[in-house]
Amino acid sequence: MSGPRDWSVAEPRRRGIARRILPAALAFVVVLGGVAYLRGDLQELIGTAPGSPRSAPATHHVYRETGPVDARCDTLPADPDADVRKTLNALSRCLDRMWTATLAEADVDYERPDEVRLVAAPGEAACGVDDYDWAGVYCPDRRVVNVLVEEEQALSTMFTLAHEYAHHVQEISGIADQQGAEVFDEAWSRRLELQADCLAAVTLRGVDSRVLENQLLLAEGETDAADDQAESYRRSHGSGASSAAWIARGKRGGKVASCNTWGAPADEVS
C-alpha cells in the first residue's frame, strides 16, 4: 500500500469487570498522508523501522531536551467524583500548564487543544466516531480532545483525559510523525497508544495517586482476549501487561524520555 490514507482506530470499551467498574478503553483517530512503505527487512537495515533506536520517532529531540514534568494539580476538587466535569476541567488546565512548560524546554510551542469536549454520549464527539463505544478520542485534524463523562467515574476519566492529551502532544510535537519509511500498522498503533498511556502516567503521577493505582489494577487485571472486540483492542492498543508496564515506567521516570516506545523492542509493545 502506498499513498495517502486515513487511519482510524476506535476500539470498544473493555468488557467484563473492567467495563462494570471503569470503562477505560481509549480510542485514537489520526489522519496521515504520504506514507511510504518499505519492506520490513529493508527498514531494519536502514534503521528507520519502529523499534529501531535510530528511527526518527525514537530520536526526536524532545526526549533529550525535556526533564521531569512538574506533575502537580493543586486546583483539583477535594472529591473528584462530586462533579466529574469540574474535575476534568481543572485537570485540563493543569495538563495545559504541564505541557506548556515541558515542551518549552525543547523549544516546542505548546498550543492548547482547540477544544476539550466532555461528552455525555459518543455521538457528541467532534470527529465522527459515534458508532463506536469509546471512552475517549482525539481528533488530530481538528485538535479536539473528547472524553466520555460518566458520573462517579472520575479516576478512569482523568486517566482518559491525560491519555488523549498525550495524543495531542504527540501530534503537535511531531513525535510520531511519519518520516516516510515506517510501516503504519497495528504495531505502529500499539507504540502510539502505549506511549500515550506512559505520558498520561508521567503527568498524573503527582496529581492523585489513586488514578494510576486504579489504572494499573485495571490493566493488570486484563486477561487474554475474551472476544473479538477485546482482541481488536489488544492488537491496536497493546496488552494489559504492556500497558501496565508503560504506565509504571512513566510513573517512575516522570519524563517524556521514560516513554520512548518507538525505540522499544517488539516484546515491550505487544
- Report the interface residues with Zn ion, using CB under 5 A: 26, 28, 193, 196
Least distance CB 129 / Zn ion (angstroms): 12
Residue nearest to Zn ion (CB): 28
C-beta closer to Zn ion: residue 30 or 94 = 30
Centre a 10 Å sphere on the Cβ of residue 228 and count the other Cβ atoms it contains.
9
C-beta closer to Zn ion: residue 28 or 188 = 28
C-beta closer to Zn ion: residue 28 or 99 = 28
Least distance CB 83 / Zn ion (angstroms): 25
C-beta closer to Zn ion: residue 161 or 216 = 161
C-beta closer to Zn ion: residue 12 or 43 = 12
Give the span between the Cα atoms of 103 and 74, in whole angstroms.
21
Grid coordinates representing 204?
Answer: 498524573
C-beta closer to Zn ion: residue 162 or 181 = 162
Least distance CB 88 / Zn ion (angstroms): 16
Least distance CB 268 / Zn ion (angstroms): 17
Question: Which amino acid is it at 65?
Answer: E
Question: Which amino acid is it at 191?
Answer: R
Least distance CB 144 / Zn ion (angstroms): 14
Least distance CB 75 / Zn ion (angstroms): 25
